[in-house]
Amino acid sequence: MQHFRKIIHLDMDAFYASVEQRDNPEFRGKPLAVGYSEERGVVAAASYEARKYGVRSAMASLRARRLCPELIFIPGRMDVYKEVSRRIYEIFHDYTDVIEPLSLDEAFLDVTENKIGEELAVNIAKEIKRRIREELSLVASAGVSYNKFLAKIASDYRKPDGLCTIHPNHAEEFITRLPIESFWGVGPVTAKKMRTLGIYNGYTLRSCSLDMLNRHFGKAGQLYYDFARGIDLRPVETVRIRKSVGCETTLEKDITRKSSVIIELYHVATELVKRLERAGFKGSTLTLKIKFYDFNQITRSITQPKELTELDVILPLAKELLKDVEYETYPIRLIGLSVSHPKEEQPEDKGMWEQLSFEFSDW
């Protein structure tokens, strides 16, 4: 008999916006955005009432307002969201300590062995959802499966307030019907490329050879190949090594003059050095992120043999990366820099995880 792990992916529904609607009854049932409505503002989170109009997080506030003229904007309260998140994770820890946080409102839980001795992972997911609703007056969606990829897909499947289980016996059938856009790691650009190659869903992805996927998608080819077959050996990591430190700034006005761009790049690099020092982080790869006036985005990276911690090293490298960016005819809206590839993350360690096996009878 093949043995599988029991993985739950928990994701709070419209977290920031739901907290605001919970705490402010006058906002309930109304389209709400957490963020700022001014010209350069961005939506941090949108309620489900706002999402019906097409409003999404990371959308420019002006566009969101055009889509939904009645949209209510309120500033975020990060201290409140962090406190609510702390209480959510306390609930998680009542069932397992094998928890991988992804954000304030999202996590993987491995409940193969759990604190209450419950055989069915779906029952634990139901119990966590119930407690979040009763104790915090918030709604979560949960996905249950035998690996992280499928648990994540399952939690997105019936949002909001969803609960979906993908049993090992039904995984292949489920993946076959899954649109390519729903695969973890497939964004709009990759989805478009896949469609030009005749890849539309899990069925057509599974028909692709590993060699073909590696040719077109590089290292991600192996990931897509495995996902199409329901394979994901990554464990739920209770301790996550920080893999990057970065910062970015959205400019008050789009800029095209070289002198203005260099000044803004200097400010971002200076802030990055401060954050690296606070975090005690040392990495060898510098990445430049540029978002243009039309929200198209590019990144450029360079890796050095030495650690990147000082401004007089980072700034010249950032300027070098900027040389390849055409911004005189495409005004810049946002500039970001990050340092990654920490010394602790040795390339030879990758792929060394072994998925432990435990037997269970059902889900």
- What is the pLDDT at residue 11? 95
Asked which of 118-127, 193-202, 338-347 is least confident by mean pLDDT, the reply is 338-347
Give the pLDDT mean for 117-143.
97
Fold adopted by 1-166: Alpha-Beta Plaits (3.30.70)
Report whether pLDDT(358) > 60: no
**pLDDT level of residue 208 (50, 70, 90 thresholds):** very high
Q: Exposed, middle or buried by CB within 10 Å (0-12, 13-18, 19+), for 35? A: buried
Report whether pLDDT(41) > 90: no
- What is the pLDDT at residue 183? 92
Q: What is the pLDDT of residues 295-332, one digit of tens each?
A: 788 899 999 988 999 999 999 999 999 998 888 888 99
Q: What percent of the chain has pLDDT over 70?
A: 93
- What is the pLDDT at residue 352? 27
Domain boundaries in the chain?
A: 1-166, 171-227, 244-347
Q: What is the mean pLDDT of the chain?
A: 89
- What is the pLDDT at residue 3? 72
CATH level 2 (architecture), domain 244-347 = 2-Layer Sandwich (3.30)
- What is the pLDDT at residue 276? 93
- What is the pLDDT at residue 57? 87
Q: What is the pLDDT of residues 261-282, one digit of tens each?
A: 999 999 999 999 999 998 889 8
Q: Are 76 and 16 contacting, i.e. CB atoms less than 8 angstroms apart?
A: yes
Give the pLDDT mean for 235-259.
86
Give the pLDDT mean for 63-75.
95
Report whether pLDDT(346) > 70: no
DSSP-derived letter for residue 71 is: P
- What is the pLDDT at residue 45? 93
**pLDDT level of residue 347 (50, 70, 90 thresholds):** very low
DSSP-derived letter for residue 360 is: -
How many other CB atoms sit within 10 Å of the CB of residue 214? 15
> Which two tokens mark 25?
């009854």
> Which two tokens mark 58?
């990371």
Phi, psi of 159 (to 5 degrees): -65, 150
Asked which of 37-51, 234-248, 303-317, 324-338 is least confident by mean pLDDT, the reply is 234-248
- What is the pLDDT at residue 162? 94
Report whether pLDDT(353) > 60: no
- What is the pLDDT at residue 344? 52
Block residue for tokens 């003229």: 69
- What is the pLDDT at residue 360? 32
- What is the pLDDT at residue 240? 65
Q: What percent of the chain has pLDDT over 90?
A: 73
**pLDDT level of residue 357 (50, 70, 90 thresholds):** very low
Question: Are 1-166 and 171-227 equal in CATH topology?
Answer: no
Give the pLDDT mean for 53-63.
90
Phi, psi of 224 (to 5 degrees): -65, -40
Handedness of CA 341, 344, 348, 352 (dihedral sign): negative
**pLDDT level of residue 210 (50, 70, 90 thresholds):** very high
Task: Write out the catalytic residue numbers.
Answer: 106
- What is the pLDDT at residue 21? 97
Peptide bond into 160 cis (omega under 30): yes
- What is the pLDDT at residue 241? 65
Give the pLDDT mean for 17-46.
92
Fold adopted by 171-227: DNA polymerase; domain 1 (1.10.150)
Q: Residue 93: which residues within 8 A CB-CB, separation 6 or more? A: 99
